[in-house]
């Protein structure tokens, strides 16, 4: 019997479709397993290369398969799609994965550790809480605007004025609207407290983690940015260069070149949108508060004279990402005049 060299696994919630190839690329077998059957079968299979798409549940399964000796590699789904032939079904997807994982130029996704996934979960919970809090604030403002009551922009101003609104006897609010606003105000305070608790936990993790502590010295990088980056890329060694990390985050121009004529468009916006947004917010804050007579200040001053301020902020975010990669991958301390990672 020809030995299996490569296995492509199409992941599902309860069922998994496998296609096995030999060293020449010929299909040896196609099988469908439940989760329990899959682990039992893969433990009995000789060590081989296993490919999977980097989707929900893939990182846990990759760690489990690595414990039995297999070489597991995860790929972004968009890189696997070109290998799907004709129509789409689970076995054709698994076959495409098996073919894609063998390509020497394929880009792979490192399997995340349990700690990374826990930290990533914290960020996603916080993002959901912030989104709900913003929705409640917007609804309160809309209800009050319909009754001719307007607060200054900013969450803090509204938080200060709301208690006064409930005690103002001259207010034209109806009893029913007062009750609705009290319920929304209570919901808002609960969401604000939950958000603060999650943020405090993230800040504690950033202070205790050596990699995050080094990142905090970089302008525009706070606890949220540092922990989100570590949760996404660990020590950054999955990227060869800092500009590869910046490109993965979508902080580079989108290219549409042909006929030897280079054409660069707007920001590509690929990769992790939440992490990209955090870096851009951090860069905007850094551009507003950094001292312009040292570090990145003179470079930013010159850039702002040549281009729009928003473009300069994205360029600064790109530079911060590349510095962050150097600090993580090389385990260096940030120096204001350190060379930017290529």
94 and 186 both lie in a single domain: no
192 and 121 both lie in a single domain: yes
224 and 305 both lie in a single domain: yes
Domain boundary among 159, 178, 208: 208
Q: Is residue 139 part of a domain?
A: yes
Q: Is residue 79 part of a domain?
A: yes
Q: Is residue 124 part of a domain?
A: yes
SS3 per-residue string spanning the chain: CCCCCEEEEECCCCEEEEEEECCCCCEEEEEEEEHHHHHHHHHHCCCCEEEEECCCCHHHHHHHHHHCCCEEEEECHHHHHHHCCCCCCHHHHHHHHHHHCCCCCCCEECCCCHHHHHHHHHHHHHHHHHHHHHHHHHHHHHHHHCCCCCCCCCHHHHHHHHHHHHHCCCCCCCHHHHHHHHHHHHHHHHHHHHHHHHHHHHHHHHHHCHHHHHHCCCCCCCHHHHHHHHHHHCCCCCCCCHHHHHHHCCCCEEECCECCECCEEEECCCCCHHHHHHHHHHHHHHHHHCCCCCCCHHHHHHHHHHCCHHHHHHHHHHHHHHHHHHHHHCCCCCCCCCCCCC
40 and 71 both lie in a single domain: yes
Q: Is residue 336 part of a domain?
A: no
73 and 126 both lie in a single domain: no
92 and 13 both lie in a single domain: yes
Q: What's the pLDDT score for residue 277?
A: 92
148 and 86 both lie in a single domain: no
200 and 259 both lie in a single domain: no
Domain boundary among 168, 185, 208: 208
Q: Is residue 339 part of a domain?
A: no
Decide: 323 and 340 in contact? Cβ < 8 Å. Answer: yes
Q: Is residue 338 part of a domain?
A: no
CA atoms of 108 and 266, how far apart (whole Å): 26
Q: What's the pLDDT score for residue 95?
A: 93
Report the percent of the chain where pLDDT is more than 90: 46
Q: Is the pLDDT of residue 264 over 80?
A: no
CATH of the domain at 96: 3.30.420.140
Q: Is the pLDDT of residue 1 over 60?
A: no
Domain that holds residue 183: 114-208
100 and 159 both lie in a single domain: no
Q: Is residue 335 part of a domain?
A: no
What value does the mean pLDDT of the chain take?
Answer: 88
What tokens does 338 get? 């350190």
Domain boundary among 208, 224, 241: 208
Q: What's the pLDDT score for residue 255?
A: 81
Q: Is residue 323 part of a domain?
A: yes
Look up the pTM and report it.
0.84
CA atoms of 179 and 175, how far apart (whole Å): 6
46 and 98 both lie in a single domain: yes
pLDDT one-digit tens code per residue, 67-110: 988 999 999 999 999 999 888 899 999 999 999 999 998 988 88
Total domains in the fold of the chain: 3
Q: What's the pLDDT score for residue 337?
A: 64
pLDDT one-digit tens code per residue, 319-339: 999 999 999 888 888 877 655
């Amino acid at each position: 019997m020809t030995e299996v060299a490569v296995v492509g696994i199409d992941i599902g919630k309860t069922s998994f479709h496998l296609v096995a190839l030999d060293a020449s690329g010929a299909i040896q077998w196609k099988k469908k397993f439940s989760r329990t059957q899959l682990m039992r079968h893969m433990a009995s299979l000789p060590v081989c290369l296993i490919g999977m798409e980097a989707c929900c549940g893939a990182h846990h399964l990759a760690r489990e398969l690595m414990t039995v000796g297999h070489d597991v590699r995860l790929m972004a789904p968009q890189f696997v799609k070109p290998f799907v032939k004709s129509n789409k079904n689970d076995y054709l997807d698994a076959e495409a994965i098996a073919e894609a994982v063998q390509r020497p130029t394929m880009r792979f996704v490192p399997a995340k550790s349990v700690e990374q996934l826990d930290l990533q979960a914290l960020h996603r919970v916080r993002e959901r809480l912030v989104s709900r809090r913003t929705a409640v604030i917007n609804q309160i403002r809309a209800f009050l605007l319909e009754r001719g009551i307007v607060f200054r922009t900013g969450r803090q101003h509204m938080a200060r004025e709301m208690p006064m609104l409930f005690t103002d006897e001259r207010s034209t609010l109806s009893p029913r609207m007062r009750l609705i606003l009290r319920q929304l105000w209570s919901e808002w305070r609960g969401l604000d407290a939950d958000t603060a608790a999650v943020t405090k936990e993230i800040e504690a993790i950033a202070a205790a983690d050596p990699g995050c502590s080094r990142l905090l010295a970089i302008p525009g990088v706070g606890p949220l940015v540092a922990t989100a980056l570590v949760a996404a890329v660990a020590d950054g060694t999955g990227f060869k260069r800092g500009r590869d990390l910046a490109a993965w985050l979508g902080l580079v121009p989108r290219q549409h070149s042909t006929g030897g004529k280079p054409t660069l468009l707007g920001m590509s916006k690929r990769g992790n949108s939440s992490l990209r947004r955090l870096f851009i917010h951090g860069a905007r804050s850094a551009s507003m508060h950094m001292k312009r007579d040292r570090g990145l200040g003179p470079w930013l001053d010159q850039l702002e004279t040549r281009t729009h301020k928003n473009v300069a902020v994205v360029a600064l975010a790109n530079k911060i990402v590349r510095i962050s990669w150097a600090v993580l991958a090389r385990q260096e301390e940030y120096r204001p005049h350190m060379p930017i990672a290529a």
